[in-house]
Structures are given as structure tokens and as C-alpha cells.
Chain A
Amino acid sequence: MRAIELKKLSYTYSKKTPFEKRALDNVDLAIEEGEFVGLIGATGSGKSTLIQHLNGLVKVQEGEVVVAGMSASDKKSLKQLRFTVGMVFQYPEYQLFEETVARDVAFGPKNMKLEKDEIDRRVRRALEVVGLPYDEFAERSPFELSGGEKRRAAIAGVIAMEPKILVLDEPVAGLDPVGRREVLALVRKLHEEVSPTVIMVSHYMDDIAEMADRIVALKEGRVVADGSPQEVFGEREKLAQAGLALPSAARIADKLTERGIELPRTIVTPAALADALAEIKAKRAANEPAAQDGEREDGENV
């Protein structure tokens, strides 16, 4: 089933003023249910404007946005749209506001006018899923949690609405290495257990290469690449034109290729690079006697 469809979507900020800026330009994009899409692009490429269309935070100006069969232009379905698309913004912990973690997480489900039992069930489940056991965290103030815990509590507030589609904008920005690892593992788990369709915006190409099934790259409001990580990062020239970096494994593979160790451009993760290099090493070890024969032949030919 189709989760999201954007048809010829364009958006201009500050129309008819000297500051007019076209943030999206004729974007066509279809995302199927179950996909994990990495959305990449330089700052100002239109990523934020695009995701804000998905739950009606910005009004559709030109084109069409259809999410789970609902048109984002239809005011009547706006509420339902907000419950279908869960948004985790940058630094979501700044949006914690209630006195206890449980009340903060319950805010979304309450807005959905669910029964009390159902709200409780969802709050418990969301806290368990993000790794903040209910009995330990429910009654604590969100403001006394650590940085990583705060972020997970904020994410719990979004997933308590059990959205079919989860959109995360730079979910690991500003976290320390442990916090990063935890939140990335959590995103993977949410994709499997809560929200089948995930869109993750990130500047960290290493994370995108590891996590996404599909990458969509934006430049100046247009889709300039769309495909598997291997396909998108494989197109080095296009990527450079869009002002985007490579994952470190691909960058190292290029440096090695320059030095005569030829590696395919489809290598985007450290594991793939390590395996490819181990294979080359094994081959060279097996060919060593043969290589010596070759040298001898060359010698005779001279």
C-alpha cells in the first residue's frame, strides 16, 4: 500500500516579497508502506519544508500531498493526518512540558480522545519501547532526566499516538556517542514494532547508509537522486553536485581505489568495505605464487 504520495509539489516562502524563496520545486515522490527512507540534502535544500507537508504543518500551495489515502489539503482530515504521521523534530526534548513523564507521553493520546484504559496502555507501551521502564520513569519530572533519556521520553510522546508513519528530523543531533547508538537502535526498533514507514532526515551519511532501504536526495527543492544507498552513493558526481558528502566507508574505498586497490562504488558501509578488503587479501595471498610466475615470464620476454 502507498503510504505517501507527493504530486508536483511546489512551495514558495514569502511569496511576492523581496525574500521570496522557492523551497520545493515540482517534487514527485511515492513512498510505500514499510519503507525506511533516508532524506538527505544540504541545509536549505527543502527537507524540512517537505516533511512539514506530511502532517499539514504547512499548507499545500501547488500540487498534491496524499498520506494514507488522505489529502493534506482537506481540512476535515487534518486531525486524523496528525495522528497518522508522528513527527519527531530536532531537539524534541525542548518540547517536554508536563510535570511527569507519564503525563507528557499521554498528551498525544489524550488529544486523540481515547478511552482512559487505552491511553494508559499506550503510555506504558511507548515508555517500554523507548527503554524507559514505566515503573521507574512514569512519575519522574522530565526535566531531571539525562540528555539521552529526555530525548527518548520525547520520542515516546510521539509513538504513544502509534502513528503509521514516523518522521524524524536529525534524531541524533547533539547526542554523545552512547546516546547516538541508543537512539539509532531505537529508530530501528520503532520501524519494526510501531511505525512501519519511517522517514529519517539526517546529515550523518554513515547512519543513513546503515539504516535506510532507500535514499531520497534533495537539492534546491528538487529530488536529484532516489534509490538504494548503493545506487545513490554510487553516483559520486551527482552527489557532489548536490553538495552532499559520502559515507566514510565509500570515501575510504575511493582513496584505496586511487592507490590501486580497486573497490566497487557500491560499498557504503564499514562491514561491506571490511569484507571486500578481506576478500582481496585472500585472493592476493592465493595468487602470490602465480604472480611470481608472471614476473618470471615478463623477465623472459624482455
Chain B
Amino acid sequence: MPQIELNNASYSYRVGEGQTVRALRGVSFSVEKGEFVALTGMNGSGKSTLAKLLNGLFTPSAGDVLIEGINTRDEERTFDIRRKAGMVFQNPDNQMVATVIEDDVAFGPENVGIPREEIVERVDWALEAVGMSEFRKRSASKLSGGQKQRVAIAGVLAMKPDIIIFDESTSMLDPEGRAEIMEVAKKLNATGITVISITHNMDEAAQADRIIVLRKGRLVLDGTPKEVFASPEVEACGLALPPATELARMLTERGFAFSETVTDEDGLVEGICAQLN
């Protein structure tokens, strides 16, 4: 059984009188446990709507979303779904609920009545996993954006999720903060947690195992970074190529030939060296 399964899922909502926005139209795909999937597309392509369907914040207007076999329509299981699929949002300043960092991380487990000793254990573990243990007694207000997002991730981790959804969680950070979050996401993924990363940043998308591209609410591409960035559809979807891929394209125009699609700097460097050395 796949861990995440979308069967012909659609989502529409009304704006004003008689106008309906069809944010998602018949999207089907499945994700296995432990995958690192980047979900991308232009603003308005339906990415964020899809993220909200995955943890049951929205239920589909048609079709089904199953998380570990549980249908998100099943209201009695909403709580289980939220616990299985945690979400990290965009704005680092909007996600803190407590002033002291360890209290913030403990908020989720406290809410669901986990025994005190176990909460302490979970908070220790979660802060360690995101590299923020030394900050535990400090105030969240003095942290950098990247550090705040790491605390937000620790808060999600303290619920012991199987899936973490990053909803443009790096878009408001500086390059250093972005790199910190990508590193944490990869580390968590290596422990078996499924990562779904919604992003506009093609460099980040290129680091995923798999990229899903949405356009006007429909799934248009689904494959490895090499497959997706080799597709002529990419630019029609309003996406850019990662800088290394773009450079490979410019070099191809100037007489170079690459045997496979370049998606990152190291691949590009290898490809150039093979032709010049």
C-alpha cells in the first residue's frame, strides 16, 4: 500500500456569486514511504491546495486522498492524519506559539495528552534532530529565520510524523537559512520520514528524488529531476531551469554535448571536464 494516494482528487471553491475556482482537477499519484518529493508549479497552479489536501485541512470536492490507507474524508480519523502528516508553513514568524523554544516544541505533544516524561524525551530528540538543542531555553524572538523554521520543524517532529510537508518553508529565508532547512529535510528523510517539499526554487527541487509539476490544477509532469528538467514542458509550466541546467543549455548552443540531463553543479562540472580534459 502506498503511503499517500490521490485518486482523481479535485478541489473547487467559490469566490463571490456563482464564480468557482477549480484549484485542483482530477489529480492522481501515489507516494511510497521514504520518498523525497518536490511539488512545484507557478503561483495558482494548485500546489498549496494539494498540500492542504494531504493533511486533511481540506477534503477533496471529488475523488479521494488516502494517507496510509485512511481516507481524509473520515472525520473521525482527521486527528490521526494530522499526526501522521505534519506541516511546516512559509512564514517563520507566524508559527511560534510559546515564547521559550522548548515550550513551543512541547506544545503539540502536550495538546494530545502525552505523559510528561515522554514529552521531555520527544522535545530533546526533536531539537537535537534539527540542531537547535543549545537554544532550548532561549526566546524564539531572537532567532534568525532559518533557526525559527528549524524550531517549527522540531514542533512537527515532536508529534512523531511519518510524513513532513514543507509548504514553501524556505521562500522567506536568506540563502543560509534555505541551506539549513534543506539539510534538515534531507537528514530527516534519511531516517525514513517521507518529505513533500512545495517549492519555487528549482535548485531545491533538483535535490529531490522525484518532482511533480502542476499546471492550472492538473498534474503535468512526474519524474526524476533528470526526466523533468529534460522535458520541453518545463518552461510552459512557468518554471525555470536550475542554474546548472540553464548553463548546460547555453554550452550546448556553443558546441558542447552532454550525455545526460544536467540538474546540479557537480553533474555540470563532470560533464564539462569530460569534454575538455
Which chain A residues have a beta carbon within 8 Å of chain B's beta carbons? Answer: 42-44, 146-148, 173-181, 203-206, 243, 245, 248-249, 251-252, 255-256, 259-261, 270-271, 273-275, 277-278, 280-281, 284
Contacts and interface: CB of A to CB of B under 8 A. Distances in A.
Top 6 nearest A-B pairs by Cβ distance?
A177-B240, A278-B254, A248-B243, A274-B250, A178-B238, A147-B43
B43 A261 contact: no
A63 to B, nearest CB: 27
Contact of A177 (B174, B177, B202, B277): B202
Given A177-B42, A177-B200, A280-B276, 14 more contacts: A42-B174, A176-B43, A176-B200, A205-B175, A252-B265, A255-B265, A255-B266, A259-B277, A270-B243, A270-B247, A274-B253, A277-B254, A277-B272, A278-B254
A260 B276 CA distance: 10
Contacts of A44: 144
Nearest to A251: B265
A264 B42 CA distance: 37
B53 to A, nearest CB: 20
A256 B272 contact: yes
Nearest to B234: A177
B276 A249 contact: no
Interface string B222-242: 000000000000000011100
26 contacts: A44-B144, A146-B44, A147-B44, A174-B171, A174-B200, A176-B42, A176-B43, A180-B240, A206-B243, A243-B176, A245-B175, A248-B265, A251-B265, A252-B244, A252-B265, A252-B268, A256-B269, A260-B273, A261-B272, A274-B247, A274-B250, A274-B253, A274-B254, A277-B272, A278-B254, A281-B276
B159 to A, nearest CB: 27
B57 interface: no
B251 interface: yes
A278 B272 CA distance: 11
Contacts of A256: 269, 272-273
Nearest to A178: B238
Contacts of A178: 42, 238
Interface residues of B, number: 38
B203 to A, nearest CB: 8
A255 B266 CA distance: 8
Residue among A181, A243, A251, A281 with the highest chain B CB neighbour number at 10 A: A281
A278 B202 CA distance: 26
Contact of B172 (A173, A245, A252, A280): A173
B94 interface: no
Nearest to B203: A248
B276 A261 contact: yes
A78 to B, nearest CB: 30
B128 to A, nearest CB: 25
Contacts of A271: 250
Contacts of A261: 272-273, 276-277
Interface in B141-156: 144-145
A184 to B, nearest CB: 11
Given A274-B247, A274-B254, A148 B43 contact: yes
Contacts of A277: 251, 254, 256, 272, 276
Contacts of A249: 243, 247
